[in-house]
Amino acid sequence: MSAGKSRRNIRLVLGAAGVAVLGYGLVGLPTELGPAQLLGLLTWMAVAVLLHDGVLVPLSTAAGFGLTRAGSRLQPASAAVLRGALLTGSLVTLLTALLLKAQSVARKSTVLEADYAVNLACLWAVLAVVSAVAILLLQRRGRRAGSRRR
């Protein structure tokens, strides 16, 4: 059998298995969820995609424009450190926002006991210090390498 043909067979088997597994889930869903619950689920899924594609990605792209401008004055490695720190910080901030919201509504037991806002501030402080030091070192090394080249 040729390589192309065997790959086509792999794709067919994989695709058929995928459709079967996916179909099992789609058929099972309405056996345990009522019409109103299914409607709520579909609405949630549609809103999630709209928020992701219409808000989250445009916002991060806008942040990317600013970072491209700021980053073009830095060494490439420093610009990458800056982006990485902001990416990490934003992600943890998103999680913390959910935690704080949950903390305000969840019933009291041994859940959500930490002071997440303080922890978030600590994380940002660590990110700021670590990335500032890294950027300073990288900039100095880059300048030295640049002056040697000239």
Partner 1 sequence: MHRLDGQRVTDFLAAKFASPTRSTRLTVVLGRWLGIAFTVCFLTGLFSHGLQNPPAWMIFPTRPVWIYQLSQGIHVTAGIASIPLLLAKLWSVYPELLSWPPVRSVVHGLERASIALFVAASLLQVTTGLINTYKWYPWPFPFRETHYWLAWVIWGSLLLHIAVKLPAISAHWRRRQAAASASNSPASGASDAAAGESGAGVPAPGRWSRRAMLTAVTAATGAVVVTTAGQSFAWLAPLNLFAPRKMGTGPQGVPVNRTAADANVADAAMSPAWALLVRSGPVTRSFTLEQLRAMPQHSHELPIACVEGWSQLASWRGVRVRDLLAAVDAPPGSDLHVTSLEPEGAYRTMSMPAAYARDEQTLVALELNGAALDLDHGYPARIIAPGRPGVLQTKWLQSVEVL
Tell me which residues in 26-55 interact with partner 1 (CB under 8 A): 26, 28-29, 32-33, 36-38, 40-41, 44-46, 48-49, 52-53
Query: Going by C-beta distance under 8 Å and a sequence separation of 6 or more, which residues neighbour residue 71?
Result: 78, 79, 82, 83
| Cβ proximity of 147 and 80 under 8 Å | no
Q: How many of the chain's residues bind partner 1 (CB under 8 A)? A: 75
The length of the chain, given as a count of residues: 150
Distance CA 120, CA 95 (A): 10
| Nearer of residues 25 and 147 to partner 1, judged by Cβ | 25
Tell me which residues in 51-110 interact with partner 1 (CB under 8 A): 52-53, 56-58, 60-61, 64, 67-72, 76-77, 79-80, 83-84, 87-88, 91-92, 95-96, 98-99, 101-103, 105-107, 109-110
Question: Residue 149 interacts with partner 1 (CB under 8 A)?
Answer: no
| Nearer of residues 11 and 140 to partner 1, judged by Cβ | 11
Distance CA 24, CA 9 (A): 22
Nearest-approach distance from CB 110 to partner 1, in angstroms: 4
| Cβ proximity of 26 and 45 under 8 Å | no
Tell me which residues in 8-27 interact with partner 1 (CB under 8 A): 10-12, 14-15, 17-26
Question: Residue 137 interacts with partner 1 (CB under 8 A)?
Answer: no
Least Cα distance to 142 among 75, 88, 82 occurs for 75
